[in-house]
């Protein structure tokens, strides 16, 4: 059974950093064949796209709100995707979800309702 497990969330002051991890496991779930990404949902708001990395690890995409502050990467040997978050702001506070699918990357970014695999989420809280 394919599974995504996030870790690394927590409480941090504004301007600080956190690194989220998303470990994929189960069956033939190799991230080198999947688009991997991060979405987030703040209280009272809809879930939104944060970042994605294509199956090859070559193409990376970011929401405008995090561009220049967040960096996505993947370690195929560990079957894990990371989200390095720097210069955190209170508005980054949300539950962050890891997601994965074999669909085309642009579609993945804009059609979260069609994504097959989701993690359980990890809370990130940024205090001012």
pLDDT in tens, 35-90: 999 999 999 999 999 999 999 889 999 999 999 999 999 999 999 999 999 999 99
pLDDT of the residue at 1 = 83
Whether the predicted pLDDT of 27 surpasses 80: no
Q: Can you tell me the mean pLDDT for 5-28?
A: 94
Q: What does the pLDDT read at residue 30?
A: 81
For residue 38, how many C-alpha atoms fall within 13 Å in the half-sphere facing its CB? 36
Q: Which residue in this structure is represented by tokens 């927590």?
A: 10
Give the count of alpha carbons within 13 A of 70, CB side only.
26
Q: Does the structure show a pLDDT above 90 at 28?
A: no
Cβ(98)–Cβ(36) below 8 Å: yes
Separation of alpha carbons 25 and 78, rounded Å: 10
Phi, psi of 90 (to 5 degrees): -55, -35
Rounded to the nearest integer, the mean pLDDT of the chain is 95
């Amino acid at each position: 059974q394919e599974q995504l497990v996030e870790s690394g969330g927590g409480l941090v002051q504004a301007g600080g950093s956190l690194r989220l991890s998303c470990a994929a496991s189960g069956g033939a779930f190799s991230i080198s064949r999947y688009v991997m990404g991060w979405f987030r949902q703040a209280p009272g708001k809809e879930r939104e796209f944060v970042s994605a990395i294509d199956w090859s690890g070559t193409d990376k995409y970011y929401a405008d709100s995090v561009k220049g502050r967040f960096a996505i990467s993947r370690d195929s040997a560990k079957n894990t995707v990371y989200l390095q978050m720097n210069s955190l702001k209170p508005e980054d506070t949300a539950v962050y979800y890891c997601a994965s699918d074999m669909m085309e990357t642009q579609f993945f970014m804009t059609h979260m309702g069609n994504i097959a695999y989701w993690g359980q989420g990890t809370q990130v809280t940024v205090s001012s």
